[in-house]
Amino acid sequence: MLKWAGKSRYEENEGDEDDIAPPFPHSLLPTLHFPKKIMRKIYFLLPGTDSKFACGGLWAELKALSLAQNFCSADVVTYRQREKDKLFIDDLLKDKNLNDVIFVISWGFDIAQLVAKLKQYNVVYHAHSPGYPFRLPASIPIMTVSRYTMGYWGEKSPNSLIYYLPNQISDEFQNLGLERDIDVLVQARKSSEYLIKELIPALQKRCKVLVVDSYIEDLPGLFNRAKVYLYDSAEYWAQQRLSEGFGLQPMEALACGCQVFSSVNGGLADYLDPGFNCYKIAGYSQEYDVQRILKVIDSSVALSLPEDFLFEHRTENIIKRFQVILDELNEFFDHKIQQPSNIKSLTKIRMAKLLAQKIYGKLKKKYFK
């Protein structure tokens, strides 16, 4: 049974109202009986939550935890270090009956180890950055933070259940209409060598540039002071041999009214649209970048985004989507108890076999008519 977050298909249909079939009378609908679903508790597995693990992935998981707590029982479980007032995985696994819980794993470098450790339990992978060298069995559903990441896992794990759960852009990220006293804002982390060593020095000769290389408590306030925000992460992710799973900062900057010059690698392409809501950075030459950035700084035209641009990333919509996804996950884990997976996996051996069959079929058709 499909459930929809936000508008229904019919409400989004661009055709005439006559295209929509009237509802059946209730008396003609069959009475369906489903087994009672178990509503499981969610445990978000994190290596730790202190400063040594501080990064975008940690904040995203803690936000997801907070959102889940709006409609179900959810908590953090650490697995690399013990922390005060938090559960530790080894202690939790002493309880042999854990069918009533779902473990959400997300820390890319630890996934293979966690999958092996939790293979007899209900596990969901919350996928951020694609490209880690591991595969997942069909018994582990996947929640992705971007459509880009969803497409990646759709190819890599075609037999898995896959869902799209957008990252949250909290309501504090909004345009306050303040006077902007910073011409160009840059966060040093993930920035390319070109951005730090070439473009910024050139801009500093022409305008007011602020480079941030530490944690900012009031990031929405800083975005509301800046006219232009620069972001160039393509080089960083190429060095990591991974991909940008989403890229929160450019969207947060846009939400606060900044004009954004950004790379469009990975998940950034989910929402960035050069020429329409942003500008592509590192465009042909440093001189052309400087020319375009100064033109935007001097322009009196304010950023204008479609009303629904941030809708799917706002709290209310994500909570609705999360509820739908969790309902389906509970239903799936009920089914998994009774039924093993029986769809053939797309392994290298099977791929070779399918290719051989295809070649044989063509040869047979050509030479043995």
Residue 127: φ, ψ to 5°: -90, 125
- In this structure, the chain runs to a length of 369
pLDDT in tens, the chain (369 residues): 444 444 333 333 333 333 333 343 434 444 444 445 568 999 999 999 998 888 888 989 999 999 999 999 999 999 999 999 999 999 999 987 899 999 999 999 999 999 999 999 999 999 999 999 999 999 999 999 999 999 999 999 999 999 999 999 999 999 999 999 999 999 999 999 999 999 999 999 999 999 999 888 899 999 999 999 999 999 999 999 999 999 999 999 999 999 999 999 999 999 999 999 999 999 999 999 999 999 999 997 888 898 899 999 999 999 999 999 999 999 999 999 998 888 888 778 888 888 888 887 888 787 876
Q: Which residues pair with residue 324 across a beta bridge?
A: none
pLDDT value at residue 174:
95
Domain boundary among the residues 265, 298, 331 is at 298
Instruction: Kindly give, in sequence order, each residue whose CB lies less than 8 Å from that of residue 265, ignoring residues fewer than 6 positions away.
Output: 233, 234, 237, 243, 244
Number of domains in the chain: 2
For the beta carbon of residue 212, count every other beta carbon within 10 angstroms: 13
Does residue 318 sit within a domain?
yes
In this prediction, residue 38 carries a pLDDT of 63
Residues 196 and 245 in one domain: yes
In a domain? residue 8: no
pTM of this prediction? 0.84
**340 and 255 together in one domain:** no
d(CA 114, CA 128): 16
Burial class (CB in 10 A: 0-12, 13-18, 19+), 354: exposed
Q: Are residues 46 and 78 in contact, defined by beta-carbon separation less than 8 angstroms?
A: yes
Query: Per DSSP, which regions of 132-287 are E strands?
Result: 142-144, 162-164, 182-187, 209-212, 226-231, 259-262, 279-280
Task: Kindly state whether residues 258 and 281 are assigned to the same domain.
Answer: yes
- Phi-psi group of 177: left, alpha or beta (phi > 0 → left; psi -120 to 50 → alpha; rest → beta): left
Q: Do 144 and 192 belong together in one domain?
A: no
Q: What is the pLDDT of residue 369?
A: 67
Return d(Cα 67, Cα 45) in angstroms, integer.
Answer: 16
Whether the CB-CB separation of 125 and 137 falls below 8 Å is answered with no
Strands (E), the chain: 41-46, 74-78, 87-88, 101-105, 123-127, 142-144, 162-164, 182-187, 209-212, 226-231, 259-262, 279-280
CATH number, domain at 71? Answer: 3.40.50
Burial class (CB in 10 A: 0-12, 13-18, 19+), 192: buried
Taking the C-alpha atoms of residue 168 and residue 70, their distance in angstroms, rounded to an integer, is 14
94 shares its domain with 216: no
Q: Is residue 75 part of a domain?
A: yes
Which residue bears the tokens 């970048």?
A: 289
Does 334 map to a domain?
Answer: yes
CATH of the domain at 229: 3.40.50.2000
* 85 exposure class (CB count in 10 Å sphere: 0-12, 13-18, 19+): exposed
In a domain, 31, yes or no: no
Q: Which domain holds residue 243?
A: 182-298
152 and 197 within one domain: no
- C-beta neighbour count of 191 within 10 angstroms: 22
pLDDT computed for residue 9 by the predictor: 33
Residue 81 lies in a domain: yes
pLDDT for 31 equals: 46
Is the domain of 60 the same as that of 136? yes
Q: What is the pLDDT of residue 37?
A: 58
Residues 218 and 112 occupy one common structural domain? no
Residues 95 and 52 reside in one and the same domain: yes
Same domain? For 45 and 154 the reply is: yes
User: What is the rounded CA–CA span in Å between residue 300 and residue 286?
Assistant: 24
**345 occurs within a structural domain:** yes
Same domain for 154 and 43:
yes
Q: Looking at residue 22, what is its pLDDT?
A: 39
* Same domain membership, residue 247 and residue 348: no
